[in-house]
Amino acid sequence: MAGVTLLRLKKEMEMIEKDPPPGCSAWAAGDSVHELEAVIQGADDTPYAKGCFRLRITVPQRYPFEPPKVHFVTPIYHPNIDSAGRICLDILNMPDGNGKGAWKPSLNLKTVLLSIRLLMSEPNPDDGLMVDITHEYIHNRALFERTAVERTRLHATEEAAAAAAAAAEPEASEPPAAATAASGGAAASSSHDGAAAPPAEAEDDARKKPRLE
């Protein structure tokens, strides 16, 4: 089974590299071929336009007979994606007999990425994962879109990436408190020693002064 999975994954990743799906990219995350990273760009004319959303994909050992596990790393304001990045999408689940799951071995990672991008553009309020956002999407679309645009600006744009990078940079290093205290202590000790033992020049001057009888 592992051999089938590896061959399938290799073929699919080559396909994504040579002919990437619109607005999507994916690559191996580290040494394991079962852990992937992906980026989906928000489509134009949606609240997610100009946003780049990072995802994490875990491919199970039984792939393609089991669906990949996918979640958003970048926060997104969406009825079908929760605050932990979990996605409510039928093809990411095995059929359960109740019409909820729609995964089948003929699907692939390219299809998964395109389906998620489509879900971003066309939320499914009939299968909402976030109750409050789903209600807002149905009953106050303008407010939903304004909030989604603002969250995209805060989390998924170049401006957000630059802010995150700046926050991650270490501040100008200051001497540790212990080192500062030690330095201060050494200086104090030096000063104390100087007071107890006057310089040789001072002793010479004292010897040169005539004694008063």
pTM for the whole structure = 0.76
From 23, 19, 40, 53, select the one nearest 151 (Cα to Cα): 53
Does residue 79 have a cis peptide bond before it, meaning omega lies within 30 degrees of 0? Answer: no
> Is residue 160 scored above 50 in pLDDT?
yes
Count of C-beta atoms within a 10 Å radius of residue 35: 13
Radius of gyration of the chain (CA): 32
Residue from 9, 16, 26, 88 carrying the catalytic annotation: 88
> Is residue 30 scored above 60 in pLDDT?
yes
Concerning whether 24 is annotated as a catalytic residue, the answer is no
> Is residue 151 scored above 70 in pLDDT?
yes
> How many Å apart are CA 47 and CA 120, to the nearest integer?
9
> Is residue 76 scored above 90 in pLDDT?
yes
The band of 33, judged by pLDDT with boundaries at 50, 70 and 90, is: confident
Query: Taking residues 81-86, what's their average pLDDT?
Result: 98
> Is residue 22 scored above 70 in pLDDT?
yes
Which residues does 178 contact at the CB level (< 8 Å), separation at least 6?
none
Domains and CATH numbers, the chain: 2-161 (3.10.110.10)
